[in-house]
Amino acid sequence: MENLTRLCIVRHGETDWNAEKRIQGHLDVPLNEAGLSQSHATADGLVELKFRAVYSSDLRRSWQTAEIVAKRLALPLHPLPGLRERHSGVLEGKTIDELAISHPEAHARYLDRDPDYAFGTGETMRVFSARVVNSIEGLIESQMGASLLLVTHGGVLDVIFRRATGRDLDAPRDYPMPNAGINWFEHHQGNWRLVAWAEQFHLDPNMDSGSDHPE
């Protein structure tokens, strides 16, 4: 199909804060040993495929993952700040249980998925979603018809999943988003299509993939 753009979107490897179920947001947490291993496994799983380039969030956990993959695939790597995780304000650095004690209103709004609540100094879900979609669709416009590899965060993947499936921002998140999971989308003439979700064929089945971990 002419001008069909294919996107392989990968969530970054695991961090210690993922393992602790601690919300990272814009805080710059590096990969742990499991995350580094997952990133190498992702590179091996994608090495036979053809992409024009790799684009990544500039946050360290994503960028480290992308560097490993881009090097293995011998592809250029470009930062795309629009792929950053949501800025989560007072949530950042806390687990959900800690948030319930320190900021009970924010905790309630988090559980309700209130799309217009910014958690103090953060982004609302609507602002975050618009930022992500505009960034990726701007990239698609400049690379139309290409196959692109994007490395990013759980919250970004959540936005694109909802965009492609028509799910509302405040609907429950009842689908997995494993660390280093591989997700495939197609974009054509303004329309998104989900092709495959949360592939983990490349990961050690005994490795904790972080499916239930916060961003």
Higher pLDDT, 88 or 214: 88
* Residues known to be catalytic: 12, 85
Q: How confident is the model over 29-42, as a mean pLDDT?
A: 98
Task: Give, in words, the CATH class of 5-88+123-199.
Answer: alpha beta
Question: In three state form, how does the secondary structure of the chain look?
Answer: CCCCEEEEEEECCCEHHHHCCECCCCCCCCECHHHHHHHHHHHHHHCCCCCCEEEECCCHHHHHHHHHHHHHHCCCEEECHHHCCCCCHHHCCCEHHHHHHHCHHHHHHHHHCCCCCCCCCCCCHHHHHHHHHHHHHHHHHHCCCCEEEEEECHHHHHHHHHHHHCCCCCCCCCCCCCCCCEEEEEEECCEEEEEEEEECCCCCCCCCCCCCCCC
**Mean pLDDT value across residues 136-156:** 98
Instruction: Evaluate if residue 209 carries a pLDDT over 80.
Output: no
Span 55-64, mean pLDDT? 98
Has residue 89 got a pLDDT over 80? yes
- pLDDT of residue 55 exceeding 50: yes
Predicted local distance difference test score (pLDDT) of residue 214: 60
Answering whether pTM is above 0.75, one says yes
Q: Is the pLDDT of residue 210 over 80?
A: no
Confidence of residue 206 (pLDDT cuts 50, 70, 90): low
